[in-house]
Amino acid sequence: KKNKLREGEMIQLCYDEAFKIMFANSEHIEILTMLLSKIFKVDYEALEGKVELLPLKVSSKKIGEKKCERDVVVSIKHDEIYNIILEVNVKKKFYQSIIDRNLYYTFQTAGHTLIETETYDEMPYTFLINFNTFFINRTKKEVFEEFVLQDKYGMVLSDKYKVFNINIEECYNLWYHNNYQGKFESYEEDLVLLCASLMVKEEKDFNSILKMIQMKPEIKEL
């Protein structure tokens, strides 16, 4: 629905199209680079100029299917080549089908270059980053979760295939209640604030969060 925004109101960046405008725009790749530097806890300069947006494969137009298989796909050429898939999942509650779908897309990407005689460790580095509005592990309820590829006995098959889950709604709650300081490392604290900014509906809140995040002034300006 094309509802007119009132003054000072903004579209939440957690919605697919808004997320893509912010983080999947080749004209300001620096913003995506900054986000990835926070997620992987490396200096922005280490990734600068090494992040490339990859084309999205358009799927068939079946009812209920997404227009594209993935939200954002990135290649990072840093020592090794890393394929990164970013997915934003804005749902009221946890849906296993969403996670399974994203895992399928990611493993499909990772397995394209893997032939039958090779081991899992021969896969390219392929990481899936889910920005969720729900907890995956509803017992531990951790804001940041990281998983590696394991067999049914819990043995790690390869650390070249990882899944990161970030609960952006909880990040918003931590920011809103000013309950995040001292709980995270500097990179993680910036990431909490960045993820909180995806959920806000007011420009003043977005600008307020932006002031607290450690990043280059020119990226803030973008």
What is the DSSP code (8-state) at residue 63?
Answer: T
**25 and 217 Cβ atoms separated by less than 8 Å:** no
Mean pLDDT (the chain, rounded): 86
pLDDT at 139 over 80: yes
Helix (H, G, I), strand (E, B) or coil at 192: helix
Side-chain half-sphere CA neighbours of 72 within 13 A? 32
Which is more confidently placed, 31 or 60?
31
222: which 2 tokens? 């973008």
Question: What is the spatial distance between Cα 116 and Cα 183, in angstroms, rounded to a whole number?
Answer: 45
Lowest-pLDDT choice from 152-161, 187-196, 210-219:
152-161
pLDDT at 63 over 50: no
Question: What is the spatial distance between Cα 101 and Cα 90, in angstroms, rounded to a whole number?
Answer: 14
What pLDDT, on a 0 to 100 scale, did the predictor assign at position 110? 66
Which is more confidently placed, 63 or 121?
121
Question: pLDDT per residue over 168-204, tens digit each?
Answer: 999 999 999 999 999 999 999 999 999 999 999 999 9
Question: pLDDT per residue over 110-128, tens digit each?
Answer: 665 556 666 777 777 889 9
